[in-house]
């Protein structure tokens, strides 16, 4: 992470109270990947960088509905510290998270940033006075968001900026080519390095690739929502990292609970002695070698459970069984 020379004002953890979860984490990672986690072993390219395949999505470190400060700021700080301790070097954030709250928390806790840390941000959306999600895709809005990210992260250059389409619903008021033109100008000015896309179609990605290299695509995708398989296939063809959001389905529509109740997921989880959510994340890692996960949480215990997925190896029979998982769609915002 390229950081400014401002002085660092950086300043454990919440533990699970349920004994069965604690007992799981006491077992070895290879025999039971819910056991104590070590450094993440799996890596993949992200543009011209290499990151560990399980990162951290920081959205949940803001307040309810991703608006305002966290209910427990010290718990949020503990999650960030523990994530970096365990080798996370890919963190996803956005100016709209708070707004500014999550970026400022990252700067407070993690500066001076580790040299290998990639912080990905997003542009294309904003929050209204009530916390609603609205479009912000005009050139001056994109530029303001990038510059605000630089200020709040206290960085000299952003590692990766994802252009998010479809915020707030309805058609985009600015053509994709014009939006990407603004980002390439900002890159030429030295304000960002890599460019990615979020919530895009195959047509959007093909248009973008004719304009500039694309480092990653973030779309809703998971074992129970494979609507964007064609987008993933196009990423495969071009060697582009794919970062699924809602990997367990949307929590707002009961996605994780539906996964836990799915007989195929439950069966594989029981056989490996892991949780259904861990199976769903492990399936993603097995599905594409440049799949990068950014599961989010406000709990250290849950963070460790997510990172333990690095030690799960699904077999061919597991993957065949998981093809039976019921597919459901996941909403965006």
* Domains, in order of start, for the chain: 40-322 (3.20.20.100)
Q: Say what the pLDDT of residue 124 is.
A: 98
Do the beta carbons of residue 323 and residue 284 sit within 8 Å? no
Choice between 93 and 21, residue whose per-residue pLDDT is larger: 93
In whole angstroms, what is the distance from residue 91 CA to residue 206 CA? 26
DSSP bridge partners of 98: 67
Residue 19: pLDDT band (50, 70, 90) is very low
Q: Tens digits of per-residue pLDDT, 44-70?
A: 999 999 999 999 999 999 999 999 999
User: Among 19-28, 244-253, 283-292, whose mean pLDDT is lowest?
Assistant: 19-28
Q: Tens digits of per-residue pLDDT, 114-126?
A: 999 999 999 999 9
What's the gap between Cα 264 and its chain centre?
25
Q: What share of the chain in percent tops pLDDT 70?
A: 87
What's the gap between Cα 96 and its chain centre?
15
Q: Tens digits of per-residue pLDDT, 280-292?
A: 999 999 999 999 9
Q: Is 135 exposed, middle or buried (0-12, 13-18, 19+ CB in 10 A)?
A: buried
- With helix as H, strand as E and coil as C, how does 180-231 read? HHHHHHHHHCCCEEEEEEECCCHHHHHHHHCCCCCCEEEEECECCECCCHHH
Residue 258: pLDDT band (50, 70, 90) is confident
Q: What share of the chain in percent tops pLDDT 90?
A: 78
In whole angstroms, what is the distance from residue 132 CA to residue 67 CA? 9
What's the gap between Cα 39 and its chain centre?
18
For helices 300-307 and 73-85, angle between their N-to-C axes, nearest 10 degrees: 30
Closest to 306 in 3D by CA, of 81, 59, 25: 25
> Which residues does 191 contact at the CB level (< 8 Å), separation at least 6?
146, 147, 150, 157, 158
Question: In the structure encoding, which two tokens stand for residue 107, read together?
Answer: 């700067």
Catalytic, 97? Answer yes
Do the beta carbons of residue 142 and residue 179 sit within 8 Å? yes
In whole angstroms, what is the distance from residue 72 CA to residue 61 CA? 9
DSSP bridge partners of 253: none
Q: Tens digits of per-residue pLDDT, 196-239?
A: 999 999 999 999 999 999 999 999 999 999 999 999 999 999 99
Q: Tens digits of per-residue pLDDT, 126-171?
A: 999 888 999 999 999 999 999 999 999 999 999 999 999 999 888 8
Q: Give the pLDDT mean for 4-22.
A: 40
Q: How much is the pTM?
A: 0.88
In whole angstroms, what is the distance from residue 205 CA to residue 202 CA? 5
Phi, psi dihedral angles at 293 (to 5 degrees): -100, 140
CA distances from 112 to 55, 78, 107, 238 (A): 19, 16, 8, 34
Among the listed residues 97, 113, 221, 245, the single catalytic one is: 97
Closest to 35 in 3D by CA, of 278, 320, 297: 278
């Amino acid at each position: 992470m390229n950081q400014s020379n401002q002085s660092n004002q950086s300043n454990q953890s919440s533990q699970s109270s349920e004994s069965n979860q604690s007992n799981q984490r006491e077992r070895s990672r290879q025999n039971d990947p819910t056991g104590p986690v070590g450094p993440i072993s799996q890596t993949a390219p992200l543009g011209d960088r290499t990151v560990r395949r399980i990162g951290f999505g920081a959205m949940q470190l803001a307040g309810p509905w991703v608006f305002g400060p966290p209910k427990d700021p010290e718990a949020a700080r503990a999650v960030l510290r523990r994530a970096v301790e365990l080798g996370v070097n890919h963190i996803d954030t956005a100016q709209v998270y708070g707004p500014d709250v999550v970026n400022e928390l990252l700067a407070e806790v993690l500066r001076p940033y580790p040299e290998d840390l990639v912080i990905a941000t997003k542009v294309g959306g904003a929050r209204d006075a009530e916390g609603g999600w609205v479009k912000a895709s005009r050139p001056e809005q994109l530029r303001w968001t990038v510059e605000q990210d630089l200020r709040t992260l206290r960085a000299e250059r952003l590692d990766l900026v994802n252009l998010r389409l479809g915020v707030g619903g309805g058609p985009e008021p600015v053509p994709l080519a014009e939006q990407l033109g603004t980002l390439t100008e900002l890159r030429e000015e030295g304000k960002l390095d890599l460019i990615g896309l979020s919530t895009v179609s195959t047509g959007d990605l093909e248009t973008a690739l004719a304009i500039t290299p694309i480092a990653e695509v973030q779309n809703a995708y998971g074992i129970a929502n494979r609507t964007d398989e064609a987008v993933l296939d196009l990423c495969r063809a071009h060697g582009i990292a794919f970062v699924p959001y809602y990997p367990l389905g949307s929590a707002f529509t009961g996605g994780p609970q539906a996964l836990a109740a799915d007989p195929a997921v439950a069966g594989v989880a029981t056989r490996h002695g892991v949780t259904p959510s861990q199976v769903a994340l492990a399936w993603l890692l097995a599905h594409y070698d440049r799949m990068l996960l950014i599961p989010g949480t406000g709990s250290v215990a849950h963070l460790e459970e997510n990172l333990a997925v690095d030690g799960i190896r699904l077999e061919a029979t597991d993957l065949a069984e998981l093809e039976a998982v019921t597919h459901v769609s996941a909403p965006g915002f």
